[in-house]
């Protein structure tokens, strides 16, 4: 198997039969899917929550700043 193109869809289509028959490779692929399902997905969801919270804080700060009134003047000699 030429693994240089593993990121291409053609690789998976071309080597489909080999992958289906190779038990070790199937096991590794399933483990990787499990890792994604349980570990990485939770990390991404937690990151999204943090970003949304930071966005709310930033929006509130921007709103406070926009509601403030300033009077600017310059003294010229």
15-33 per-position pLDDT tens digit: 888 888 888 888 888 888 8
For residue 14, the tally of other CB atoms under 10 A from its CB is 14
- DSSP secondary structure, 32-49, as one string: HHHHIIIIIHHHHHHHHH
Band of residue 6 on the pLDDT scale cut at 50, 70, 90: low
Return d(Cα 19, Cα 36) in angstroms, integer: 20
> Which pTM does this prediction carry?
0.47
Tell me the C-alpha to C-alpha distance, in Å, between residue 63 and each of 13, 50, 57, 58, 66: 53, 20, 10, 9, 5
Return d(Cα 16, Cα 49) in angstroms, integer: 38
């Amino acid at each position: 198997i030429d693994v240089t193109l593993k990121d291409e869809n053609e690789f998976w289509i071309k080597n489909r039969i080999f992958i289906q028959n190779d038990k070790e490779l199937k096991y590794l692929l399933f483990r990787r899917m499990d890792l994604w399902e349980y570990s990485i997905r939770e990390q991404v969801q937690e990151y999204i929550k943090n970003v949304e919270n930071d966005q709310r804080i930033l929006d509130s700060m921007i709103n406070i700043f926009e509601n403030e009134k300033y009077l600017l003047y310059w003294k010229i000699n």
